[in-house]
Structure 1
Amino acid sequence: MTRTPTACIPPVPAPDDAAELRDRARGALLGLAVGDALGAPAENLKPSEIRARWGRITGFVAQRPCGTDDTEYAIFSGLLVARHGSALTPAHVEAAWHEWIADREEGPFRGAGFSERGTLENLRRGLAAPISAQHRHAWSDGLAMRAAPYGVFAAGRPAEAARLVAIDGSVSHDGEGIYGGQAVAAGVAAAMAGAPPTAVVASALAVVPDDSWTARCLRRAITAAHRGERAVRRAVVIGGYPWTDLAPEAVALAFGAYAAADGEFTDAVLTAVNMGRDADTTAAVAGALAGAGQGAGAVPAEWARVIGPARGSCLPAMAGHHVLEVADLLVPRTGPEPAP
């Protein structure tokens, strides 16, 4: 499979800009959590159903807004890469799945996707990566939803972010499921370096096969983005398909929302939310991209205040961890790692 030419990405902030890098890291993961919480009530809905219930969603519509499995799995991956860094291996990822999820007494695990359930069944049967990813939903957006921490860690190094997230994904995903995660991780890595939205999108396309379903959906979404959210949705959504967590679709909707908003945080997230489908994931990804590009200050204060420590409603082991705590773990105190 061919790949698009590597995008021209601005360098990472210099070591004396560590404060800026930390702000972008916090923006990325706070943006993810906010997008997740905003989008959760609209998950699996059509735009017409969203309008009938709430008009246009412009803020939280749930009485007790909170993150879903998207935020808790992003915390999971953030802690994993903070622990192992660029030395991450499939064995490390598999061990973390056992330590933090599979070998614990079955908790509530509400809201977990089919790909995660299939992975857990395989791990509990003693299967190891990549065999553990051989289930019916290896193409889901379950890797894309937890990919942003790799872009934060590998700020300014999209190829490294894509390499690391593929290692993470080898336990649970395959094919288009991996490509979706790589696109998100690379996009966040570019946004962390201050790249404009066009370069962020180019970075995502540069790390996935040019003739993949993911790349084709991304190109369609970006081509339609200047015409707004309805055009993006028409260009990407697979009509009549019952599942909304298809990675090529969800990732393309998220990047389309981000591009339609020209990287502006509030518009990017709300565009993703109001398109429906897997709205918690698409808004989380759009929020991570825009938050990395604009920093934590771009997240409206009234939204940021809602984000507290994870409740562990999906992954009990993640209870008590805050996305801002994880963001700080991913940024070197003296600035980013030098490029290899």
Structure 2
Amino acid sequence: MASTARVPALPPPCAAPGLRARARGALLGLAVGDALGAPAENLRPSEIRARWGRITGYVVEHPAGTDDTEYAIFSGLLLARHGSALTPAHVEEAWRRWIADLDEGPFRGAGFSERGTLENLRRGLAAPVSAQHRHAWSDGLAMRAAPFGVFAAGRPAEAARLVAIDGSVSHEGEGVYGGQAVAAGVAAAMAGAPPVAVVAAALAVIPDDSWTARSLRRAAAVAHRGERVLRSAVVVGGYPWTDLAPEAVALAFGAYAAADGEFAPAVLTAVNMGRDADTTAAVAGALAGATGGVEAIPPDWAAAIGPARGTCLPPMAGHHVLNIADRLTPPEPPTPTETPR
């Protein structure tokens, strides 16, 4: 197992105003990446080029987040309620109350890992047995991991601990490692760590010999050699499903590293590589948004993101990622020109 002693030393979290801006950047960046990547999901780069040339912005009239955004809101609400006291029982109860006890009809757009989890919960199985299904290695935990890094800003090991608790209901092994890598990376970026330290923080909280760690190291090593080289270093050729956590997480971190943490190029690199593009772009967007803050997100991209529509998770309808970000960070102190009330 990974040792928390290997977590790189990080600068202390920014003062509250900077921390709030990074939190908002992380979660809005996730939603923007999700919306940008959704049309390219499950496509090859050649198919993307044939349809749109190179994607440089939204390619649909009404862009919106998918299950990636709604599950991140789900986990953010759960974390805002319980904080560091979060337990598997809390997570399981939320899955049952907000998802499993609803009719199947509204549950659209979810991945295999979520459906496998729901089947087990509805059969009466509890965590961690509920996570024992054929897609426990998916990127379904990684896509909802960013709120844990926001909450545990500057504490990658704590972010990894908490996201593993969330994942105990739905994921095992590589699926959990993928979530831990993302949560730790966001936590490091929230503290102002440069991209190389963000990648190091992600690697420090997962086993060295895991598939996720091997893929992440390969991605970081070739990130600046172009999308084709990055994709070839990570993608499992011939495998029909695109939601493998080791693959998606490595592509996302590779896109982030290739862009040196800059928001637009990080997200667009992830989108144009295809595969599970909504998730890879969502993770790259969370990392880059935490690095650059909400101001780093192009205003027209940010303006398109409204409250969640509840397309996948009806109880999440009406929640906005910016409100979740604010709930996960300390309130900002008044500026010198303001008088506290």
Residue by residue over 1:207-262, the C-alpha shift from the partner in whole angstroms, topping out at 9 and shown as x without a partner, is 00000000000000000001121111010001101000000000000000000000
Q: Among residues 211, 214, 226, which one is paired with 1:213 in the alignment?
A: 211
Residue pair 2:7, 2:156 contacting (<8 A) in 1 also: no
Name 1:283's counterpart in structure 2: 281
Name 2:244's counterpart in structure 1: 246
Name 2:8's counterpart in structure 1: 7
Q: Among residues 28, 31, 39, which one is paired with 1:30 in the alignment?
A: 28
TM-aligned CA deviation for residue 63 of structure 1: 2.0
Q: Among residues 101, 117, 120, which one is paired with 2:118 in the alignment?
A: 120
What SS class does the counterpart of residue 80 from structure 1 fall into? Answer: helix
Identical residues among aligned pairs (%) = 82
Tell me, yes or no, if structure 1 residue 88 matches structure 2 residue 72: no
Name 1:229's counterpart in structure 2: 227
Pairing of 1:99-248 with structure 2 (within 5 A): 99-248=97-246
Name 2:56's counterpart in structure 1: 58
Residue pair 1:107, 1:315 contacting (<8 A) in 2 also: no
Name 2:337's counterpart in structure 1: none
Residue pair 1:9, 1:203 contacting (<8 A) in 2 also: no
CA–CA distance in structure 1, aligned partners of residues 2 and 78 of structure 2: 31
- Return the letter of the residue paired with 2:12: P
Tell me, yes or no, if structure 1 residue 299 matches structure 2 residue 297: yes
Q: Which runs of 5+ in 2 are unaligned?
A: 334-341
TM-score calculated relative to the size of structure 2: 0.96
Residue by residue over 1:134-175, the C-alpha shift from the partner in whole angstroms, topping out at 9 and shown as x without a partner, is 000000000000000000000000000000000000000000
Bigger drift between 150-159 and 106-115 goes to: 106-115
Residue by residue over 1:238-295, the C-alpha shift from the partner in whole angstroms, topping out at 9 and shown as x without a partner, is 1101000000000000000000000000000000000000000000000000000100
TM-aligned CA deviation for residue 2 of structure 1: 5.2
Residue pair 2:17, 2:332 contacting (<8 A) in 1 also: no
Residue by residue over 1:93-135, the C-alpha shift from the partner in whole angstroms, topping out at 9 and shown as x without a partner, is 0000011111123342221000000000111111100000000
Residue pair 2:7, 2:157 contacting (<8 A) in 1 also: no
- Return the letter of the residue paired with 1:80: L
Name 2:270's counterpart in structure 1: 272
CA–CA distance in structure 2, aligned partners of residues 311 and 278 of structure 1: 21
- Return the letter of the residue paired with 1:93: V
Name 1:316's counterpart in structure 2: 314
Q: Among residues 17, 20, 27, which one is paired with 2:18 in the alignment?
A: 20
Residue pair 2:271, 2:281 contacting (<8 A) in 1 also: yes
- Return the letter of the residue paired with 1:103: D
CA–CA distance in structure 1, aligned partners of residues 282 and 191 of structure 2: 19
What SS class does the counterpart of residue 6 from structure 2 fall into? Answer: coil
CA–CA distance in structure 2, aligned partners of residues 334 and 267 of structure 1: 30
Bigger drift between 228-237 and 307-316 goes to: 228-237
Residue pair 1:2, 1:211 contacting (<8 A) in 2 also: no
Name 2:336's counterpart in structure 1: none
TM-score calculated relative to the size of structure 1: 0.96
- CA-based RMSD of the aligned residues comes to 1.1
- Return the letter of the residue paired with 2:95: W
- Return the letter of the residue paired with 2:126: A
CA–CA distance in structure 1, aligned partners of residues 307 and 83 of structure 2: 23
- Return the letter of the residue paired with 2:10: I
CA–CA distance in structure 1, aligned partners of residues 197 and 2 of structure 2: 19
Residue by residue over 1:43-84, the C-alpha shift from the partner in whole angstroms, topping out at 9 and shown as x without a partner, is 000000000000000000012211000000000000000000
What SS class does the counterpart of residue 63 from structure 1 fall into? Answer: coil
TM-aligned CA deviation for residue 7 of structure 1: 1.3
Residue pair 2:154, 2:187 contacting (<8 A) in 1 also: yes
CA–CA distance in structure 2, aligned partners of residues 66 and 139 of structure 1: 26
